[in-house]
Every structure is written in structure tokens, then in C-alpha cells.
Amino acid sequence: VKLPDGSWSEPLNLGRRINTDGEEESPVLSSDGQTLIFASTGHAGMGGFDLFRCRRLDNGSWSDPEHLGHPLNTPGNEAVLTLDASGTSGYISSARAGGDDLNIYRVEFLDEPTTGVDPVSRRNLFKLLKQLKNTSILLSTHRMDEAE
């Protein structure tokens, strides 16, 4: 937390709602500060590390983590998801089938973005993530080091 004098406080633990007896890592906060995406082995998922999303509640605390589902999550490990400012594309670090370890893949959301709304807000990202089972995203078939 940034203090009134401009210095920073010690880090604040987000508590048992987010932190588990497993591992949590790679937190990414949306530009509006309302959405937190992170990887966890401690919340129920599909494999090792899976990606989850929490929303900041009106009282400043965080919602229960929501599993981002397939095809973002796989039986392997997913470490981080970042989105561009429009919320229509980004990058995921994932151990996909055929990969020897975590690799970086481009993610493209095929749905039309919601205009006038922050790209990782409730009306946009939540809508897109709920529709992922209907092939809403395209994952590139090559690792970033093989890209043109």
C-alpha cells in the first residue's frame, strides 16, 4: 500500500481466500485495479498451476477465485496471462502438449470487445472467459521463439 508520505508499506497478504497451502504466483493486476489474475496449485483446477481471476469487491477485499477454464487452462501448467489494452489479445505462459516446458503463446479473443469498458473489467473479460468453451480464443500453434 502506498503511504501518504509516498513510501510503501510492507506487502499485505491477501488471506486464505486467495492464498492456499499450495503455491500462488504470477499475479497480474488490471489497469483499473479491479481484476487480479494469478496462477495457483492450491485451488481446484485441471492440472498443476492453473489460472484464476478475482474481482475487487466494493469493500476493497477480493472475490473468491474463479477458474478460467479450458482452453486457457490445461492438464499442464499455466503460469501467467497478460492482455493488451483492448482486451482482445495477449500472451499466456503454458506447458502445452508437445512443449518441453513453459513456453509463451499468443492468445487472441475472437469475440467482439465491449467498447467503453476496461478490457479486464467484469463486462468484458468475464464475458469472454465464460465463453471460452465455445472456442472464443485462438492459441498460436508455435512458440514465441519460432514466430516470425
Whether residue 144 has pLDDT greater than 80: no
Query: What digits encode the pLDDT tens for the residues 64-99?
Result: 999 988 888 888 899 999 888 776 788 899 988 766
Of the candidates 55, 17, 52, 13, the residue with the CA atom closest to the CA atom of residue 34: 55
- Quote the pLDDT of residue 99: 66
> What cell was used for 143?
512458440
Comparing 48-52, 55-59, 107-111, the range with the smallest average pLDDT is 107-111
Measured CA angle at 142 (ends 109, 42), to 5 deg: 65
pTM of the predicted protein model: 0.71
> What cell was used for 46?
485441471
Q: Are 107 and 98 in contact (CB under 8 A)?
A: no
Task: Return d(Cα 112, Cα 49) in angstroms, integer.
Answer: 29
Q: How far is CA 85 from the centre of its chain?
A: 14
Query: Taking all residues of the chain, what is their mean pLDDT, rounded to a whole number?
Result: 77
